[in-house]
Amino acid sequence: MTWRVVSMLRRLECVTRPVDGDFAAAMRRRWDDLPPHVKTPGQVLGRHGVGCEGTHGVFPKCNLACTPCYHSRDANQVRVDGGHTVANVEAQMALLRRVRGPRAHAQLIGGEVSLLDPDDHAAALAAMRQHGREPMSFTHGDVDYAYLRRLALGPDGKRRFDRLSFAAHFDMFMFGRRGIARPGDERSLNRYRAEFTAKLRRLRAETGVRTFAAHNMTVTPANLDQVADVVRDSSGMGFGMFSFQPAAFVGDSRRWHEDYRDVDSDAVWEQIERGVGTKLDYRIFEHGDVRCNRVAYGFWVGDRWFPVLDGADRRDLAVRDGFFRHLGAFDFAGTPVPQLAAQLTRVAVRRPQTVVLAVGWLVRAVRRVGIRRLARCRRVRITSYVMHRFMDAADVTTAWDLMQRGQSSDDPRIRETVERLSACHYAMAHPEDGTVVPACVQHSVLDPGENAQLRRLLPIVQVRTGGREDATTMERPTCE
């Protein structure tokens, strides 16, 4: 009996240990590998994570047509095959765990994720979790509720997951959406944005599976002036994140219909700020190079958005620094609440200054928001705003070739590309040769050849139906 008690206490001590040694070591390696220009006080990489990850070549096909489209021209000629998807997700995640450590956020991304059978989709998510990844499925949002339910529940009717996360892409350049095949503007998509998040709320109510939704949107000169309206109109729909991507010359060149260089980072960020109704300080927390990523974390109380930290207040910056120092190795998204509470308690006991910092921050936050506003508000909505700026394929191809040969460039544009790639926040794995590459390299350099090979490996079979020839995988999967 004594041995059992001792064994139980040891296990308890282990699972409530504030710092995971393997994860802390992975972050130290990540920090050491970063170039000097991004080792800033607000840098998150190497302090609270190793960066985001994504899959590639696992289901490149999509059933909408977009302009621009970041897929290579062969992507829609590859058959969706669940066995291929699960096996390759497993291999990619295993390599990412070996190279980048035991924990990270990862996107199940390629073409349209709902083209996968729900069981295969679930198996891919399970493989990601098995390797310590917090998965997010990338979709265009034109998904039946029955599909979501079959994803959440197994054949026995029991929950497969405690939490499901989705990145849903909505913009007026996506053609073929049911009910609105060719949107005339961004506002005409608001109904479909709201319907998607309503399905997730219904899923949680009926199954108990918690959900998270991020809103993605490509920005070009044609919809730049509509970004603020999207932010305003969609702020109460249930999205926990809004991510905007200025279009780049990447993917299928047949779908490049505009001069995307007319849209720069500052113009997009100003539109987001107009929609939120306040300035957004993206230097408090940085994810890699700010020329690639801008992020502002905060919350809505009623009709006003407040930042988590005020970059003009030294006390708040001290909270940020203390967070990195004492809580950086915590996994807030993937740890069960009781375990997380025990870990935080151990930190508070060992380092009482963390409690002082936390209480001070809470008092300042309440003062900024106002007690009356808090009293009138039924719910505080945590919402972050993000901008990801991809790079043109021609620049990435040139820069990556130079990086592989250990050379530099005198061209300012290529030199900037090299700097941004060296600090990339978003990585993809290649088990065949053991390498991990920046996502821009994957899409700009590697995708065309990879999808051409997949087209031969997983060809779409043509069949005769009703006197005409159709591709069997072009039918929209449904669970109705």
pLDDT in tens, 422-437: 999 999 999 999 999 9
pTM (2 d.p.): 0.91
Res 15: pLDDT: 61
Q: Quick check: is 85 in a domain?
A: yes
35 pLDDT more than 70: yes
> 254 is written with which tokens?
């047949």
Mean pLDDT of all residues in 218-242:
97
Q: Quick check: is 30 in a domain?
A: yes
CA-angle at 112, arms to 111 and 116, nearest 5° = 110
- Rounded-to-10 torsion of CA 439, 443, 444, 450: 120
> 67 is written with which tokens?
């302009």
Q: Quick check: is 326 in a domain?
A: no
Q: Quick check: is 374 in a domain?
A: no
DSSP result, 311-355? TT-HHHHHHHHHHHHHHTT--TTTS-HHHHHHHHHHHHHH-THHH
Q: Quick check: is 137 in a domain?
A: yes
Instruction: Evaluate whether 221 touches 263 at the Cβ level (below 8 Å).
Output: yes
Place of tokens 């490149």: 60
Q: Quick check: is 473 in a domain?
A: no
468 pLDDT more than 60: no
Helix (H, G, I), strand (E, B) or coil at 284: coil
Q: What is the mean pLDDT of the chain?
A: 91
Q: Quick check: is 269 in a domain?
A: yes
- Which residues constitute the domain of residue 102? 26-302+382-461
**Phi, psi angles (nearest 5°) of residue 114:** -80, 0
Of 243, 213, 216, the residue nearest 381 (C-alpha): 213
> 384 is written with which tokens?
């972050």
pLDDT bracket for residue 162 (50, 70, 90): very high
pLDDT in tens, 306-345: 999 999 999 999 999 999 999 888 777 767 778 778 888 8
Rounded Cα distance between 74 and 339, Å, is 46
pLDDT bracket for residue 21 (50, 70, 90): confident
Instruction: Evaluate whether 69 touches 110 at the Cβ level (below 8 Å).
Output: no
Of 71, 34, 158, 177, the residue nearest 114 (C-alpha): 177
Rounded Cα distance between 31 and 51, Å, is 11
478 pLDDT more than 80: no
For 319, counting Cβ atoms within 10 Å of its Cβ (0-12 exposed, 13-18 middle, 19+ buried), the class is buried
pLDDT in tens, 61-76: 999 998 888 888 889 9
Res 473: pLDDT: 39
CA-angle at 127, arms to 122 and 129, nearest 5° = 95
Res 342: pLDDT: 81
Q: Quick check: is 15 in a domain?
A: no
**Any idea what the CATH number is for the domain that residue 235 is in?**
3.20.20
> If you ran DSSP here, which 8-state letter would residue 69 be given?
-
- Number of structural domains found in the chain: 1
